[in-house]
Amino acid sequence: MRKKVTVIGAGNVGASTAQLIAHEGLADVLLFDISEGMPQGKALDLSEACPLWNSSASITGTNTYADTSGSAVIAITAGFPRKPGTSRDDLLHANAGVIRDTVSGVSALSPDSILIIVTNPMDVMAQVAWKVSGFAPHKVIGMGGILDSSRFRTFISLETKISPSDIEALVMGGHGDLMVPMPRFTTVKGIPLPDIMSKDKIDRLIERTRHGGAEIVNLLKTGSAYYAPAAATYHMIKAVLLDEKRVFPCAAYLDGQYGVRGTYVGVPVVLGENGVERIIELDLNEDEERDFRKSVSSVQNLLGIIEFN
């Protein structure tokens, strides 16, 4: 039997995630949204595409939490997106309320599920979701680093004119303006980036990566990115459902790793059926360590604002 994935929030990111799952026939999908009729309409539209995709996934929409019971994975994309001039952090209070509502709506009904948090500011929302759910920390994971790494790969690919498939990148820290792209752990077919690109060029690509989300918000004007966020979320869902043991940078609960305790922040992890199965601890040099700490502090400041520590 196919497993059930619930996507909370059937907006741009949620519906695009559902589309990828349906297209690949990875799981049955339940789309949940507060807006009446909208998740049902999008689910019906996706169902009608499945014959053309040769997919036998079932896609349904709902406004009722009871329908979410028995989900293997729940991706939370509900909340307000950014507009020009809005940072991810500006969404803090409104989206914390949405996370509290939705996570308390779903967690007891799917006690064995893995929660993937997409709503921004994501690291803080992952921490809120973990507290509200009462789940073990390894079962609540934030989506950020995998998207930021994909953006970094894209910009490296554009600069080097080499396929992004041959580029691996790592971005750590919070999913915000102080995220930490890691050139030393970024490679083109195994060759470390600093060996094939000047520091100036790398710094330029790092800046573009840090502001990759804002670049799209400024172009769209009415909302934020969703194709790449959905693709990143899809890969995390797939790694869990198929127990792939993939290594992705994700927001994970640090309990002493990297010298950080009690905070969700982006680090490389092994993702499998149990969620975060391992946190990979890298030996950071002085600069990396300093930038990582700065990024962790900015996440902890936001946590302080919503009094969740």
User: What's the rounded Cα separation, in Å, for the pair 59 and 242?
Assistant: 19
The type of residue at 196 is I
Residue list 120-149, contact with ligand APR (CB under 6 A) = 120
Annotated active-site residue in 23, 93, 138, 175:
175
Considering only the stretches 78-86, 164-172, 235-243, 247-255, report the one whose residues sit in contact with ligand APR under the rule CB under 6 A: 78-86
Residue 77 in contact with ligand APR, rule: CB under 6 A: yes
Residue list 84-103, contact with ligand APR (CB under 6 A) = 91, 95, 98, 101-102
When the beta carbons of 175 and 188 are compared against ligand APR, the nearer one is 175
Residue 21 in contact with ligand APR, rule: CB under 6 A: no
List, in order, residues 6 or more apart from 302 with CB less than 8 Å away: 89, 92, 121, 123, 124
When the beta carbons of 78 and 296 are compared against ligand APR, the nearer one is 78
Quote the least distance from Cβ 93 to ligand APR, whole Å: 13
Q: 183: buried, middle or exposed (CB in 10 Å: 19+, 13-18, 0-12)? A: buried
Q: Which stretches of 28-67 are DSSP H helices?
A: 38-49
Secondary structure letter of residue 221 according to DSSP: S
- Which of 10, 180, 228, 267 lies at the binding interface for ligand APR (CB under 6 A)? 10
When the beta carbons of 19 and 187 are compared against ligand APR, the nearer one is 19
User: What's the rounded Cα separation, in Å, for the pair 3 and 35?
Assistant: 25
Contact 276, 247 (CB under 8 A): no
Contact 184, 195 (CB under 8 A): no
List, in order, residues 6 or more apart from 159 with CB less than 8 Å away: 197, 201, 205
Residue 150 in contact with ligand APR, rule: CB under 6 A: no
Quote the least distance from Cβ 190 to ligand APR, whole Å: 32
Q: What is the contact mask toward ligand APR in residues 30 to 49, using x (rule: CB under 6 A)?
A: ---xxx--------------
When the beta carbons of 147 and 169 are compared against ligand APR, the nearer one is 147
Phi-psi region of 57 (alpha: psi -120 to 50; beta: other; left: phi over 0): beta
Other CB atoms within 10 A of residue 245 CB:
12
Asked about 175 being catalytic, the answer comes back as yes
When the beta carbons of 144 and 272 are compared against ligand APR, the nearer one is 144
Contact 178, 207 (CB under 8 A): no
Residue 82 in contact with ligand APR, rule: CB under 6 A: yes
Residue 272 in contact with ligand APR, rule: CB under 6 A: no
Other CB atoms within 10 A of residue 269 CB:
24
Q: What is the contact mask toward ligand APR in residues 212 to 231, using x (rule: CB under 6 A)?
A: -----------xx-x--x--
The type of residue at 8 is I
When the beta carbons of 167 and 251 are compared against ligand APR, the nearer one is 251
Point out which residues bind ligand APR (CB under 6 A).
8-14, 33-35, 77-79, 81-82, 91, 95, 98, 101-102, 118-120, 223-224, 226, 229
Query: Which amino acids are annotated catalytic?
Result: 175
